[in-house]
Amino acid sequence: MVPFFVQIKCKLGQSYIVANALAEAEIASEIYSTAGDYDLLVKFYVDKDTDIGHFVNEQVQVIPGIRTPTPSSPSRRSARVRVD
């Protein structure tokens, strides 16, 4: 398993809703509320053959209330993702 973090900007007033949705989806191993440019810092684990960019696109950014998920440690298998 490969660990990675995603920094998430949420729509105004949606941080707790997004955190609860991530917990209910059982895809995150750790979820932290943060102060600063991002609202949440979330740790995920994926199989070594899983494309991190695809995982973020298909599993994370589809959660309502997320404005911008950004992998914090991009690698050759991840990409910066922008959601408008």
Say if residue 82's pLDDT is above 60.
Answer: no
For 42-75, the pLDDT digits (tens) are 999 999 999 999 999 999 999 999 998 887 654 5
Write the DSSP assignment of 22-64 as a string of letters: HHHHT--SEEEE-SSS-SEEEEEEE-TTS-HHHHIIIIITTST
Mapping DSSP to helix (H, G, I), strand (E, B) and coil, where does residue 19 land?
helix
Contact 80, 21 (CB under 8 A): no
- The pair of three-digit structure tokens given for residue 70, joined into one six-digit string: 């950004």
Q: Which domains does the chain have, with CATH numbers?
A: 2-71 (3.30.70.920)
**CA atoms of 16 and 57, how far apart (whole Å):** 21
Q: What does pTM read for this prediction?
A: 0.81
